[in-house]
Amino acid sequence: MNNNNRVSANNIRDKEVLKILEKDARTTPEQIATMTGMSVEEVKATIKRLERDRVIVSYKTIVNWEKLGEEMVWALIEVKVLPQRNVGFDAIAQRVYRFPQAHTVYLVSGTYDFAVLVRGKTMQEVAAFVSEKLAPLEGVQGTVTHFLLKRYKVDGEILEGEEKGKRLPVTL
């Protein structure tokens, strides 16, 4: 097998393993081996390589804290910036994503440059973050804050309501 075919075969196997782990990070190497036809050792080596290369960045659990009575305030903040010469948006993005309040940071098209998902305990805490830390950053030209009123689905997972396999009613 030449090198190009090996890369192609590895890429296909990598994607198989990644799709399984993306759906359920708790899937064991033994289960993945059974599902893919790979050996357990191949699966473990693949996962280790993908972690080392930062293809697999993290394993996460989605928690619906509201079900436990933990109040959290989420806000989507649009940020308009002036890109810096030679580094564009990356330098400002790095300063923004280093704040612990910044849960997710995206470069977006449209009127604003960044979409920043922020989490705090209160609206005042989020507002203080925006007014005291985010808005004063060099290069930030403006912000618009949208408080999220209810989360229905996060990372493809429905938080409450419809159960898996539940059918919709048929109306005539």
Write out the H or E segment, with its range, that includes residue 49. helix 40-52
Pairwise pLDDT comparison (7 vs 45), residue with the higher score: 45
Residue 77 bridge partners (DSSP): 116, 145
| 4 pLDDT more than 70 | no
**Domain co-membership, 48 together with 69:** no
- Give tens-digit pLDDT for 100-143: 999 999 999 999 999 999 999 999 999 999 999 999 999 999 99
Tokens of residue 14, six digits: 């990598």
* Per-residue pLDDT band at 9 (split at 50, 70, 90): low
Give the chain's domain count: 2
**Domain co-membership, 46 together with 87:** no
**Domain co-membership, 103 together with 45:** no
Q: Which residues contact 33 (CB under 8 A, 6 or more apart)?
A: 39, 40, 42, 43
Domain of 27, in residue numbers: 3-52
**Domain co-membership, 143 together with 100:** yes
* Per-residue pLDDT band at 151 (split at 50, 70, 90): confident
Per-residue pLDDT, 164: 55
SS3 52: helix
Looking at residue 134, which CATH number applies to its domain?
A: 3.30.70.920
**Domain co-membership, 136 together with 99:** yes
